[in-house]
Amino acid sequence: MSGVILDKVVKRYGAVEVVHAIDLTVEPQEFVVLVGPSGCGKSTTLRMIAGLEEISDGTVEIDGRVVNRVAPKDRDVAMVFQNYALYPHLNVADNIAFGLRIRRTPKAEVLASIEEVAGILGLTEYLDRRPADLSGGQRQRVAMGRAIVRHPKVFLFDEPLSNLDAKLRTQMRAEIKRLHKRLGVTSVYVTHDQVEAMTLADRIVVMQDGHIEQIGTPMDLFLNPVNTFVAGFIGSPPMNQIEAIVEGGADAPRATFAGQSIALPKLDELSSRVGEKVTIGIRPEHAKIEPAGADAISVELDLVETLGSEALLHTTLAGNPFIIKAETGGDVEHLNQVTQFWAGPETIKVFDGKTGRAFGHPATSYQGGS
Amino acid sequence: MNMNLYSRGDKTFVWLNMFLVTLFTLSTLYPFIYIAAVSFSSGFAASSGKVVLTPINATMAAYNYVMNEPQFWISYRNTFIYTIGGTIMSLLFIIPGAYALSRPQLYGRRFWNLMVAFTMWFNAGLIPFFLNMRDLGLLDSYFGIIIGFAVNGFNLILLRNFFENIPQSFEEAARMDGANEFQVLWKVYLPLSKPAIATVALFCIVSRWNGFFWAMVLLKDDDKVPLQVWLRFIISELQDDEEFSSTLVDAAYSFETVSAAIIVCSIIPVLLVYPFLQKYFNKGILLGGVKE
Amino acid sequence: MPDETRFQRVLFVLRRDWQLYLMLAPTVIWLLLFLYKPMYGLQIAFKDYSIFRGIAASPWVGLEHFHTLFGSDQFVRAVKNTVIISAFSLLFGFPVPILLALMFNEILHKTFKKTAQTIVYLPHFISSVIIAGIVITAFSPSVGIINYLISWLGFEPIYFLTKPEWFRPIFIGTGIWQEAGFSSIVYLAAIAGVSPTLYESAVVDGASRWQMMWKITLPSIMTTIIIMLIIRIGNLLEVSFEMIILLYQPATFETADVVNTWIYRQGLQGGQYDLAAAAGLFNAVVAFVLVIAANSLSKRYSRTSLW
Sort out which chain C residues have CB atoms less than 8 A from B270's CB and list them. 125-126
B74 and B217 within one domain? yes
- How, if at all, do strands A203-208 and A31-35 pair? parallel
DSSP readout, A207-257? Answer: EETTEEEEEE-HHHHHH--SBHHHHHHSTTTT-EEEEEEEES-SSS-EEEE
Chains that touch C (3 or more CB pairs under 8 A): A, B
The residue of C127, C162, C233 whose CB has the most chain B CBs within 10 angstroms, and thus the best one to mutate to test that interface, is C127
pLDDT of the residue at C303:
57
The residue type of A355 is T
What b/e string do you get for B5-21 counting C-beta neighbours within 10 Å, with b at 16 or more? ebeeebeebbeebbeeb
Q: How far, in Å, CA of C295 to CA of C307, rounded?
A: 8
SS3 at position A352? strand
pLDDT of the residue at A36:
93
Q: Give the number of A-C residue pairs with CB atoms closer than 8 Å.
A: 6
Give the pLDDT mean for A113-121.
93
Give the pLDDT mean for C121-145.
87
What's the CA angle centered on B253, arms B249 and B256, to 5 degrees? 95
Residues written for chain A? 370
The dihedral region occupied by A369, where left means phi > 0, alpha psi between -120 and 50, and beta the remainder, is: left
- Say yes or no to pLDDT of B87 above 80: yes
Residue B287 banded pLDDT, cuts 50, 70, 90: very low
Closest CA in chain A for residue C17: A71
Closest C-alpha among B90, B97, B85, B201 to residue B143:
B85
Of A57, A69, A71, the CB nearest to C2: A57
Residues written for chain C? 307
Q: Give the number of A-B residue pairs with CB atoms closer than 8 Å.
A: 55
Cross-chain Cβ contact B183/A83 below 8 Å: no
Give the pLDDT mean for B95-109.
94
B243 and B140 within one domain? no
Out of 3.40.50.2300, 3.40.50.300, 3.40.50.10890, 3.40.50.1100, select the CATH number for domain A30-55+67-205+213-223: 3.40.50.300
Cross-chain Cβ contact B21/C107 below 8 Å: yes
B165: contact with A, CB 8 A cutoff: no
Sketch out chain C's domains with CATH numbers: 1-33 (no CATH), 70-302 (1.10.3720.10)
- Say yes or no to pLDDT of A286 above 70: yes
Strand order in the sheet with A277-282: A260-263, A254-257, A240-247, A277-282, A349-352
B196 and B171 within one domain? yes
Q: By a Cβ cutoff of 8 Å, what residues of chain C touch chain A?
A: 1-2, 12, 16
Residue A44 banded pLDDT, cuts 50, 70, 90: very high
Closest CA in chain B for residue A147: B177
Cross-chain Cβ contact A79/B172 below 8 Å: yes
Residue C302 banded pLDDT, cuts 50, 70, 90: low
Q: How far is B174 from chain A (nearest CA, A)?
A: 7
B177 and B56 within one domain? no
pLDDT of the residue at B240:
63
Q: Which domain holds residue B108?
A: 70-221+285-289
Q: How far, in Å, CA of A263 to CA of B193, rounded?
A: 66
Q: How far is A13 from chain C (nearest CA, A)?
A: 13
SS3 for A291-317, per residue? CCCCCCEECEEEEEEECCCEEEEEEEE
B74 and B64 within one domain? no
Sort out which chain A residues have CB atoms less than 8 A from C16's CB and list them. 71
Higher pLDDT, B76 or B277: B76
Cross-chain Cβ contact C120/B209 below 8 Å: no
Question: How high does pLDDT run on average in chain A?
Answer: 89
Distances (CA, A) of B89 to A126, B120, B144, B147: 40, 20, 12, 7
For the ranges A275-284, B91-100, C55-64, the one whose mean pLDDT is highest: B91-100
B196 and B60 within one domain? no
Give the whole-number percent of chain B exceeding pLDDT 70: 89
Strand order in the sheet with A65-66: A16-26, A4-13, A57-62, A65-66
- Say yes or no to pLDDT of B198 above 70: yes
Cross-chain Cβ contact C12/A68 below 8 Å: no
A107-121 and A136-148 helices cross at what angle (nearest 10)? 140
Cross-chain Cβ contact B285/C138 below 8 Å: no
B227 burial type by CB count under 10 A (0-12 exposed, 13-18 middle, 19+ buried): buried
pLDDT tens readout for residues A119-177: 999 999 999 999 999 998 899 999 999 999 989 999 999 999 988 888 889 999 999 99
B79 and B196 within one domain? yes
pLDDT of the residue at B123:
87
pLDDT tens readout for residues C233-253: 888 877 888 999 999 988 899
B105: contact with C, CB 8 A cutoff: yes
pLDDT of the residue at A369:
29
Q: Torsion angle, CA of B51/B53/B59/B63, rounded to 10 degrees?
A: 100
pLDDT of the residue at A363:
37
The residue type of A243 is E
Sort out which chain C residues have CB atoms less than 8 A from A14's CB and list them. none
The residue of B103, B176, B184 whose CB has the most chain A CBs within 10 angstroms, and thus the best one to mutate to test that interface, is B176
The architecture in CATH of the region A237-352 reads Beta Barrel (2.40)
Q: Which residues pair with A9 in a beta bridge?
A: A22
Higher pLDDT, A364 or A104: A104
Q: How far is C142 from chain B (nearest CA, A)?
A: 6
Contact present, A269 and A361 (Cβ < 8 Å): no
Give the pLDDT mean for B122-131.
92
Q: Is the dihedral of CA B212, B217, B218, B223 positive or negative?
A: positive
A57: contact with C, CB 8 A cutoff: yes
Sort out which chain A residues have CB atoms less than 8 A from C8's CB and list them. none
Higher pLDDT, B183 or B121: B183
- Say yes or no to pLDDT of B291 above 60: no
Give the pLDDT mean for C106-122.
90
Q: How far, in Å, CA of B113 to CA of B153, rounded?
A: 10
B199 within some domain: yes
B74 and B201 within one domain? yes
Query: Which residue ranges does chain A devote to CATH 3.40.50.300?
Result: 30-55+67-205+213-223
Closest C-alpha among C183, C177, C174, C279 to residue C237:
C279
Q: How far, in Å, CA of A165 to CA of A208, rounded?
A: 26
- Say yes or no to pLDDT of A193 above 80: yes
B277 within some domain: no
Q: How far is A168 from chain B (nearest CA, A)?
A: 23
Cross-chain Cβ contact C263/B126 below 8 Å: yes
B96 and B27 within one domain? no
pLDDT tens readout for residues C6-38: 888 888 888 889 999 999 999 999 999 999 999
- How, if at all, do strands A65-66 and A349-352 pair? unpaired
Closest C-alpha among B46, B90, B73, B97 to residue B205:
B90
Q: By a Cβ cutoff of 8 Å, what residues of chain A touch chain B?
A: 50-52, 71-73, 77-79, 81-83, 85, 87-89, 98-99, 102-103, 146, 150
Q: How far is C15 from chain A (nearest CA, A)?
A: 11
Contact present, B209 and B120 (Cβ < 8 Å): no
Residue A199 banded pLDDT, cuts 50, 70, 90: very high
pLDDT of the residue at A365:
32
Residue A364 banded pLDDT, cuts 50, 70, 90: very low
Cross-chain Cβ contact A71/B192 below 8 Å: no
Sort out which chain C residues have CB atoms less than 8 A from A57's CB and list them. 1-2
DSSP readout, chain B? Answer: --GGGS-HHHHHHHHHHHHHHHHHHHHHHHHHHHHHHHHTS-HHHHHTT--SSS-SS--SHHHHHHHT-HHHHHHHHHHHHHHHHHHHHHHHHHHHHHHHHH-TT-TTHHHHHHHHHHHHH----HHHHHHHHHHTT-TT-HHHHHHHT---HHHHHHHHHHHHHS-HHHHHHHHHTT--HHHIIIIIIHHHTHHHHHHHHHHHHHHHHH--HHHHHH---TTT--HHHHHHIIIIIGGG-HHHHHHHTTSS--HHHHHHHHHHHHHHHHHHHHHHHHHHHHHHHTGGG---
Q: How far, in Å, CA of C255 to CA of C253, rounded?
A: 5
pLDDT tens readout for residues C143-201: 778 888 888 888 888 888 889 999 999 999 999 999 999 889 889 988 988 888 998 89
Closest CA in chain B for residue C33: B132
Residue C44 DSSP symbol: G
Higher pLDDT, A174 or B276: A174
Higher pLDDT, A15 or C3: A15
Q: How far, in Å, CA of B207 to CA of C60, rounded?
A: 38
Q: Give the number of other Cβ atoms within 10 Å of residue A74's Cβ.
A: 10
pLDDT of the residue at B248:
54
B199 and B109 within one domain? yes
Cross-chain Cβ contact A68/C16 below 8 Å: no
Number of domains chain B contains: 2
Give the pLDDT mean for B48-65.
84
Chains that touch B (3 or more CB pairs under 8 A): A, C
Cross-chain Cβ contact A69/C12 below 8 Å: yes
- Say yes or no to pLDDT of B249 above 60: no
Closest CA in chain A for residue B169: A85
Sort out which chain A residues have CB atoms less than 8 A from B176's CB and list them. 50-52, 72-73, 77-79, 99
Q: How far, in Å, CA of A359 to CA of A277, rounded?
A: 13
B245 and B202 within one domain? no
What CATH code is carried by the domain that includes residue B133? 1.10.3720.10
Cross-chain Cβ contact B176/A72 below 8 Å: yes
Query: Which residue ranges does chain A devote to CATH 2.40.50.140?
Result: 237-352
- Say yes or no to pLDDT of B288 above 50: no
Cβ neighbours of residue B287 closer than 8 Å, sequence gap 6 or more: B158, B159, B161, B162, B165, B196, B199
Give the pLDDT mean for B229-255.
70
B206 and B176 within one domain? yes
Give the pLDDT mean for B100-126.
91
pLDDT of the residue at C154:
86
Give the pLDDT mean for A248-276.
83
The residue type of A62 is I
pLDDT of the residue at A6:
95
Question: How high does pLDDT run on average in chain B?
Answer: 86
Q: How far, in Å, CA of A341 to CA of A349, rounded?
A: 16
SS3 for A164-181, per residue? CCHHHHHHHHHHHHHHHH
Residue A1 banded pLDDT, cuts 50, 70, 90: low
- Residue B78 C-beta-side C-alpha neighbours within 13 Å: 27
Tell me the residues of chain B between 148 and 207 that have a Cβ less than 8 Å away from chain C.
148, 150-151, 156-157, 180-182, 185, 206
Complex-level ipTM: 0.89
pLDDT of the residue at C262:
95
